[in-house]
A and B are shown apart, each in its own frame.
Chain A
Amino acid sequence: MTEQAHIKLQKGSIEKTTTTLNLGPTHPATHGVFQNILELDGERIVSATQTVGYIHRAFEKIAERRPLYQITPLTDRLNYCSSPLNNMGWHITCEKLLGIQTPKRVDYLRVIIMELSRISDHLICNSIVGVDTGAYTGFLYVMQYRELIYEIYEEICGSRLTTNMGRIGGFERNFNDVAFQKLEKFLKEYPAVLKEFINLFERNRIFMERTQGTGGIDADRALNYGFTGPNLRAAGIDYDVRVHTPYSSYQDFQFNIPTGTTGDNYDRWQVRNAEMWESLNIIEQAYRKVQEFKGTDADVFHANVSEYYLPEKKDVYTKMESLIWHFKIVMGEINMPVGEVYQSVEGANGELGFYLISDGGRTPYRLHFRRPCFIYYQAYDELVRGSMLSDAIVTLSSLNLIAGEMDA
């Protein structure tokens, strides 16, 4: 420092006392394509400037030229850690606009899928928090159960990551026996695994020191910043879309809303774990309800709305009526009713909303996605200001930022 004091700066020039660090866009710690320009004073963060938009794909614009069923694959690519949740949210939005009442069995099957994808999403987030604090084992250990969830998706819709699952009115086919067997296997084996995963971290001194008291936010600020989902609940507010505005028959289920108190990284991690237990509980209830359907009721997997439900392919080839409806839907002879609808679902990261305006045509006039990630990432500067660089990394992963959802 003494040597630096002798450097003569030109008159009027400003001496920079902080270090600028570009965290991202392709830094391994960001877990996604976005940039943080951190101003560091030593190891303390003075300010953080976020840059997003690296994988912006103009989904809202593209959706203005797509019939409803072609928008489902776009929603896959929002939060790609839990695509079925986005798919179901989109279908529920369309059904609200079109006035379609889905059968109870469809609702319960949807609940199973939505909760499975919530588990897979939380699993990734929480185990990544572990990786960023130096514990790789948990991450690899739980990966095989995410794999099992993906295998269940595969049995239902044929794909794993970007699922394009379901159709307006229900599912493309009934769940097969293998899907249910795998679900049973998951329900049987997963609780022990989750318990062991939690034991690895929960009272681990290093993990607690790294996460407690870092990246915290109080309830008022969190609300003002539009936080939703586990991040808001960690701050102590029990807002959950599944309870406040139930969709897909969530009112038929008994479950708790776990909350934290300080809104820091540790609480976020705890809330996500507790939510996984609740999700398991909901899946068990839903599976029991699904099993109660006997005979022809057990074959119901979509609502009876031929105007909007794309018929099964084998029916298209063998039945006249299905062929006609398939042709009408694909060639765009079916118009939507005029209206504006806002529907939200409890996504893995928070309230995932769809604001759909229809002018009576075949495609939406305007479609806006309320992406929870995009909304709460703006609080990052406030969350990490004054903390250490290594805490900023943990905060980044415990917020569960998914670049696909952020940039739409």
Chain B
Amino acid sequence: MALSNELIKQKLIAKFEEQVSCFSDSYDMLTFEAPKEMNLKVLSFLFDDETLKFRFLTALCAVHYPESSGGELAVVYHLHSLSENVRIRFKVFTDIKKPDVYSATGLFSTANWMERETYDFYGVNFIGHPNLIRILNVEEMDYFPMRKEFPLEDQSRIDKDDEMFGR
């Protein structure tokens, strides 16, 4: 394998300088961040570069970090360069009050449903998406259920009087 994580990192820094940051190797996978306005530029650089060729979008999902104000929602791209067989993880953070991120559907057709799913559960507004509507939940739903402000029931709660199940 010719393409090492270090080499990818250097190429990214050479292209985007200090705009790409927070490089780390978590369990052998290169992880880095960029400002959310840059996401398409970074993705298309990774897609087009002749030595990198990250042309397979493995997964796209969001994560909610309620504590980090100004960047509560993270959109995580898992990319795979099939020719070099290297995977990387790329994150952008966005404010939950204005969760606008550019859509990657122009580069990857597969991003269509992945982004719809992310919108459905986290409310990330993908700008430029051809059909950004809910996919797994009902259309009438007016909240984004995977956000952390909707906790699942605490299994150890004692205030509930349930004769049948006696919790």
Task: Report which A residues bind B (CB closer than 8 A).
Answer: 52-53, 56, 58, 60-62, 64-65, 96-97, 221, 223-226, 237, 239, 244-245, 339-342, 344, 351, 353, 355, 357, 365-366, 368, 370, 374-375, 377-379, 407-408
Contacts and interface: CB of A to CB of B under 8 A. Distances in A.
A379 B145 contact: no
A366 B63 contact: yes
Contacts of B114: 226, 375
Q: What are the 9 closest A-B residue pairs judged by CB atoms, nearest first?
A: A226-B110, A53-B136, A368-B61, A370-B59, A56-B136, A65-B152, A378-B113, A224-B109, A341-B27
Contacts, number: 91
Contacts of B59: 342, 353, 355, 368, 370
Nearest to B117: A374
A77 to B, nearest CB: 15
Interface stretch (B9-17, B33-41, B50-58, B93-101): B50-58
Nearest to A375: B110
B146 A60 contact: yes
Given A60-B146, A342-B89, A96 B27 contact: yes
B152 A224 contact: no
A378 B145 contact: no
B143 interface: no
Contact of A64 (B110, B112, B113, B152): B152
Most chain B CB atoms below 10 A, which of A221, A351, A355: A355
B137 A53 contact: yes
A58 B153 CA distance: 14
Nearest to B150: A61
Contacts of B63: 357, 365-366
B87 A342 contact: yes
A353 B78 contact: yes
Contact of B136 (A244, A357, A365, A407): A407
B155 A65 contact: yes
20 contacts: A53-B136, A53-B137, A56-B137, A61-B146, A64-B152, A65-B152, A97-B27, A223-B82, A224-B55, A244-B82, A244-B85, A245-B87, A339-B26, A340-B26, A355-B59, A355-B61, A357-B63, A368-B59, A379-B109, A408-B136
Given A342-B89, A368-B61, A355 B76 contact: yes
Contact of B78 (A52, A65, A225, A355): A355
Nearest to A244: B85
Contacts of A96: 27
B108 interface: yes
A97 B151 CA distance: 24
B103 interface: no
A65 B151 CA distance: 9
Nearest to A56: B136
A355 B114 CA distance: 14
Given A340-B31, A355-B59, A378-B109, A61 B76 contact: no
B137 to A, nearest CB: 7
A183 B155 CA distance: 41
Contacts of A368: 59, 61
Contact of A52 (B26, B64, B109, B135): B135
Contacts of B57: 226
Contacts of B27: 96-97, 339-342
Contacts of B29: 342
Contacts of B78: 342, 353, 355, 370
A62 B26 contact: no
Contacts of B108: 224, 226
B56 A223 contact: yes
Contacts of A344: 58
Given A52-B136, A355-B59, A355-B61, A225 B76 contact: no
Contacts of A245: 85, 87
Interface string B105-140: 000111011100100010000000000000111100
Nearest to B136: A53
Nearest to A374: B113
A370 B145 contact: no
A355 B79 CA distance: 13
A53 B138 CA distance: 8
Contacts of A58: 145
A171 B155 CA distance: 28
A216 B135 CA distance: 25
Contacts of B55: 223-224
A91 to B, nearest CB: 16
A370 B80 CA distance: 14
Nearest to B134: A53
B89 to A, nearest CB: 7
Contacts of A61: 145-146, 152
A224 B136 contact: no
Contacts of B58: 226, 342, 344, 351, 353, 370
B109 A225 contact: yes
B92 to A, nearest CB: 15
Contacts of A357: 63
Given A53-B136, A245-B85, A368-B59, A378 B152 contact: no
A186 B58 CA distance: 35
Contacts of B135: 52-53
B109 A221 contact: yes
